[in-house]
Structure 1
Amino acid sequence: MANPDDTPKGQHFLLSPECRTLTVLDLAKMRDTTAYNWFKRLRWHETEGEPYCPKCGTLRCHTMSRDRFKCTEKTCKAVFSVTSGTVFHARKLSFKKMLIAIWFSANSVKGKAALQLSREIGVQYKTAWALLMKLREAIAWRREEMVLDGEVEIDGKYAGGHIRPENKAEDRIDRRLRKYQNMKRLCALAIRQRGLGGQTFTRIIRDEDSNAAWAAVRDHVSRDATVFADEHGSYNDLAGLNELQRVNHSKAYQTDDGTNTNQVESFFSRVQRAYVGIHHRFSLKYFDWYVAELAWREDCRQVSNRNHTFQVLGKALSRPTSRYLCGYWQGNKPPDLIWEG
């Protein structure tokens, strides 16, 4: 008899059992000690969960009360925990509740709203918002060393700055004209690598201009890669960096020889669904982190939800304490996350 869990040939990954390897029922039955051990193994993965001093690096540490450790080196004597110096610094939630919150966030295909998470794990909206933003900031750091190769597509998407039109048609004005805009619109520049396992680089800019496109391709695309772009004039200068192929979208979505930018447009459709259906709007101040998180979700769409959870938790434990979000509700605000050149 055939196993009913066997994935039929050609079945979408999200419909297969390989996608759902960790459920909320598994987390509900988990003890807080087990969740704590997961944190330890991902924080100190080099030593398989054995704690070492974050200051001097020695393994000679002894366990104190309240899950704290103390370095035994005479010149150090540092006291630390599994979350010290990470984005979870000064945490108040239990390890199990934080793990469940990470699972809910990672398991959401188009992002997680803080208000919904606050109801699901029983915390204040402020707590849920700060936790999700810390995770987004940790995920966004992956772009720093990103270099795309092979065939890549580049495009930009504008968001924000909507002005409600007047009630009467005769009172309405053409908001497409620059003089009638409120200058709050931002552009999400995306460079997406084709193929399974390809990565997506994102950057928030004020306008889709040649300087931003040039700098992004120069720093994050291999010189051997082929770049595909639409007819926008800001991509003309890329011919001096890489082999450039264009498609004129005013005539066709795809040329006769197959040139297109369909994959980066597919990513923008995910951004649009998250903007409209999940968050209803993005705070433009943190637009960069929202888009970077969605790019990570796009790149990991063929990964099980267990690995999703481990990836997010591992990235959060490997990043230092956020200088922008630690003490956010006490007045510590980050600057505008917009690339200025």
Structure 2
Amino acid sequence: MGQHFLLSPDCRTLTVMDLARITEAKAYAWFKQARWFKTEGKPYCPDCGTLRCYGMTRSRFKCSDGACKKVFTVTSGTAFAFRKLSFKKMLIAIWFAANSVKGKAALQLSREIGVQFKTAWVLLMKLREVVAARRETMRIDSEVEIDGKYIGGHVRKKNKAEDRVDRRLKENRSPDRLCALAIRGRAPGSPTFTRVIQNEDGEAAWAAVRDHVSRDVTVYADEHSSYDDLLGLNRMKRVNHSEAYATKEGYNTNLVESFFSRLERSYVGIHHRFSMKYLDWYVADVAWREDFRGRANGFQTKTLLGLALNRPTSRFLCGYWQGNCPPDLIWEKPKKDDPEPS
């Protein structure tokens, strides 16, 4: 048997020692290459697109077009707009975020790079929002597995045994508990689609498969009634987990259960709890890590940096500590008047 990828030197092409030795100018060059990769790091105007730009003081550029004359920087209009950290410190923070296999805690990052908790928290949340945005155009063309996992809503048990209730019963569950719906492709390189919903129900599963899974592939699911209606969309193969984890024919949902195992370890071992308000971004972040776990950490860092520098400024996290705040990120059934996605 060959050596596991994570045990091989191929997985660690970029170390924190490598980043500690780079200069601020080198880190700035990383940002320029990631922002303007189409022109090999040469800046162009974000408004009119012209390459006729010249440098100014404080790492600024100005468009030479007479009708535009926009002044911009390498982070203008991106997820890192209005940044105050140095480029080197931001690059090291992105490396720590990408290199953590089950997620990164803001308190730990604040100690590692020497910033306030608020700064570390917003930076990590911006990266989570960035990787969550990839779901907008996600389409899975291989066999998929679908399942849901309930997260959060912990209720402390009563002290006396006679006062305790069975939390497995629906009427005794916490109202704050939410369900993470996941669709995972079986083919190598297939993405993992996630969505946070109020309850594991058929309408949410139907909408997710309809919008993000090819009609030509087979869907594997358990016997939960939420997936019964998917027979009208795709071929279905089911496994009854009350009898076995895999059928005699080999039907199983082990891949999506593996993802939920990583999500559980992230919840319990890294963050200890997720904010239910931002649960959707946390789950999408774990899905991104699951999809890129077979790539070197240098590739992961550059990919995450590139995604952030080619994503518009967040309407929710820019000015977060000044009162701006995202809405609830729980999927809701579209109204009848809303157009269906093409």
What band does the TM-score fall into relative to the shorter chain? over 0.9
What is the RMSD computed on CA atoms of the aligned residues?
Answer: 0.7
Give secondary structure in 1 for the equivalent of 2:165.
Answer: coil
Instruction: Please show how residues 13-52 of structure 1 align to structure 2 within 5 Å.
Output: 13-52=5-44
Contact 2:142–2:190 under 8 Å retained in 1: no
In terms of mean alpha carbon deviation, does 175-184 or 92-101 score higher? 175-184
1:200 aligns with 2:218: no
Q: Please name the residue that 2:158 is paired with.
A: 166
1:284 aligns with 2:276: yes
TM-score, with normalisation over the residues of structure 1? 0.97
Contact 2:44–2:50 under 8 Å retained in 1: yes
**Paired letter, 2:196:** I
Where in structure 1 do 4 or more consecutive aligned residues deviate above 3 Å?
Answer: none
Give secondary structure in 1 for the equivalent of 2:137.
Answer: coil
**Paired letter, 2:214:** S
Residues 119-158 of structure 1: per-residue CA shift (max 9 Å, x gap): 0000000000000000000011111111112210000000
Give secondary structure in 2 for the equivalent of 1:88.
Answer: coil
Q: Please name the residue that 2:167 is paired with.
A: 175
Q: How many residues align?
A: 333
In terms of mean alpha carbon deviation, does 73-82 or 171-180 score higher? 171-180
Deviation at 1:162, TM superposition (A): 1.2
1:238 aligns with 2:256: no
Q: Please name the residue that 1:5 is paired with.
A: none
Q: Please name the residue that 2:339 is paired with.
A: none
Q: Please name the residue that 2:101 is paired with.
A: 109
Q: Please name the residue that 2:249 is paired with.
A: 257
Q: Report the Cα distance in structure 1 between the residues aligned to 2:107 and 2:174, rounded to whole angstroms.
A: 29
Deviation at 1:179, TM superposition (A): 2.8
Deviation at 1:195, TM superposition (A): 2.6
Q: Please name the residue that 2:177 is paired with.
A: 185
Deviation at 1:198, TM superposition (A): 1.6
Instruction: Please show how residues 70-89 of structure 1 align to structure 2 within 5 Å.
Output: 70-89=62-81
Consecutive unaligned residues of structure 2, counting only runs of 5 or more, are: 334-342
Q: Please name the residue that 1:96 is paired with.
A: 88
Deviation at 1:196, TM superposition (A): 1.8
Q: Please name the residue that 2:117 is paired with.
A: 125
Q: Please name the residue that 1:326 is paired with.
A: 318
Identity level (%): 71
Q: Please name the residue that 1:311 is paired with.
A: 303
**Paired letter, 2:14:** L
**Paired letter, 1:141:** A
Deviation at 1:172, TM superposition (A): 1.0
Q: Report the Cα distance in structure 1 between the residues aligned to 2:328 and 2:11, rounded to whole angstroms.
A: 36
Deviation at 1:320, TM superposition (A): 0.4
Consecutive unaligned residues of structure 1, counting only runs of 5 or more, are: 1-8
Q: Please name the residue that 1:56 is paired with.
A: 48
Q: Report the Cα distance in structure 2 between the residues aligned to 1:170 and 1:327, rounded to whole angstroms.
A: 49
**Paired letter, 1:262:** N
Deviation at 1:177, TM superposition (A): 2.8
Give secondary structure in 2 for the equivalent of 1:106.
Answer: helix
Deviation at 1:180, TM superposition (A): 2.7
Q: Report the Cα distance in structure 1 between the residues aligned to 2:142 and 2:94, rounded to whole angstroms.
A: 33
Identify which of 281, 298, 301 aligns with 2:293.
301
Give secondary structure in 2 for the equivalent of 1:144.
Answer: helix
Deviation at 1:178, TM superposition (A): 2.8
Contact 2:12–2:296 under 8 Å retained in 1: yes
